[in-house]
Structure 1
Amino acid sequence: MSQLEGIKNKLSSLRLEADTAQAQTEELKGKVKTLEQENLAKENEIKSLQHRNQLLETNVEKLEEDVKKSKHEIGEIGQQGTHNEALQRRLQILEEEAEESDRNTREVNEKLRQTDVKAGHFERKVQALEASRDQWEEKYEEMAKKYNHVKKELEDFQVEIGNI
């Protein structure tokens, strides 16, 4: 009778472990889904920043062309004082805008780099979680096999006891 109780205890223990493994699997699946959603959001942010970067680079090129045109106009105008001063102010404004655009471009590039680093980190994290999930699934399958084997042994034992 104590052997039967021992088997029952083992079965109970196995069920508890199986339930725990299932709960952990569900939790890990939830974490994987969350990380995938975060990864998708980061990818969208990257695309947005890349688009913004392209717009800023186009703007910088336009501003640089404007700066070149303004310098050329200043050279041609020569001695016209008021007009020359206006062009110089315009040139200064354009140069400041170009510097601002350049700073913005550097900031966007830095954000892109940081986002790429974060995306890589989350990809590694997802891979680690998937590997962990796979291990838990393997453990669960092993436990299910052990459970079925023990169950079969118990049934065989019960048949033997019934025959006695």
Structure 2
Amino acid sequence: MDRIKEKLNSLRAEADQAIDRAEAAEKRVKDLEQEILTKDQEIASLSHKNSLLEGDLDKTEAKLHEAKASHNDHESSRTAADDLSRKISLLEEELDNAEKNLRETTEKLRQTDVKAEHFERQVASLERERDGWEQKFEEAEQKHKHTKAELDEVVAQMESL
């Protein structure tokens, strides 16, 4: 009987140990279930946060794309502005050259006008002189005709004598 008691005591001790282990296992299961629940909530929270961040990433990528397009537009505008600036510089140089040529041509034209006026005065003076000579010639021719007529008359009178 002592053996049975011992066996009973040992069985009780094993049962107590098994109960303690079962309680410890149940506690561990509860802790693990609580941890799983916490982890599930954390996963849900992180999934929500991830989806928000993906939305922000999409928006940011769209803004980046717009910024790149704007930058490219800005670069092309700057290039066009530089090209136009060079074209303006060339046109200004051409304008300066054209103005210089205009001044030179205007000066030559003024000098030509002065010479033309001088020659016109000379022509007018020579025409007046010519007119005077023509008038003197006509007077001399009339005198000559008159003198010839007188001479012919005198010759005719002398012949008739």
Shorter-chain TM-score tier: 0.3 to 0.5
Structure with more contact order per residue of length (Cα contacts < 8 Å, sep ≥ 6): 1
Structure of greater Rg: 2
TM-score (norm 2): 0.48
